[in-house]
Amino acid sequence: MARRFCDETDSRRLLNPGPVTLVSVAFRDERNAAPVAWAMPLSMEPPLVGVALHPERHTTDMVRAAQEFAINIPGPAMLKQVHFLGSHSGRDVNKLEAASIEWFPGMRVGAPLLDGCLAWIECTVRDSIRFPDHTLFVGEVVRVQALEEAYAGGWLLEDPKYCPLTYLGGDEYAVIQDKRVAAIQTTMQGGLVLETAEEREEREEREAQEAEAKGAEGDEGYAEMRRFLGRD
């Protein structure tokens, strides 16, 4: 295994995957939404979340004016709509209409909640902190809803349709699924048991099966080559 040096700016991509969000906002008669990968929890009590918005985004102006917003969490069915919302500006086009995204009203804020998403977090702006090229809007969470199929105190990840998307960069996304449970055991001395006897047995069995499958593939390839060369 080799390590590679990355650019300092790679830190942002390495810190994703978190779920990609759509920040929606309404001001006067206008409604807009944009994907925001830089969204994060900031406090438990009171519940605060942050979204980092570039000053050029129309969403930034609208959030500043409305002093509230909603964070919508899309699933894979919305992949194209997410990318469309992130490649156009609400300054030029009514993106929700253009992307055929229906919405329903927020319960505590004027921001539209986007149909087809898995969860919705309504926020009022409590603070905004300027950084060199983004502003962190600190939102006080005032209402949260989620689809029962997707979330029950944690992401269920049972059905890919109800799994959140994450952003890899460019036009690449991934679906967050394949849940793993970290069952931790410690030795008498308090050290972490990296692999229990049971886990080792499972791994060895899996590796043996993989090796067997690879061997069979090799045999098949060899037989194929012989057929091709007319030797059989």
Ligand X SMILES: Cc1cc2nc3c(=O)[nH]c(=O)nc-3n(C[C@H](O)[C@H](O)[C@H](O)COP(=O)(O)O)c2cc1C
**Which residues contribute to the site for ligand X (CB under 6 A)?**
20, 32, 34-38, 52-54, 57-59, 83, 86-91, 167
Phi (first) and psi of residue 63, to 5 degrees = -65, -40
Q: In the bound complex, what is the minimum distance in angstroms from residue 77's beta carbon to ligand X?
A: 16
User: How far is it, in rounded angstroms, from Cα 83 to Cα 164?
Assistant: 14
Give whichever of 56 and 224 is closer to ligand X, judged by the CB atom: 56
Q: Please state the closest distance from residue 75 (CB atom) to ligand X, in A.
A: 14
Residue nearest to ligand X as judged by C-beta position: 86
Question: How many residues are given for the chain?
Answer: 232
Nearest distance from C-beta of residue 133 to ligand X, angstroms: 9
Nearer Cβ to ligand X, position 11 or 186?
11
CB of 135 to ligand X, least distance (A): 9
Nearer to ligand X, 84 or 156 (CB): 84
CA atoms within 13 A on the CB side of 209: 6
Cis peptide before 55 (omega within 30 of 0): no
Q: CA triplet 99, 105, 107: central angle to 5 degrees? A: 145
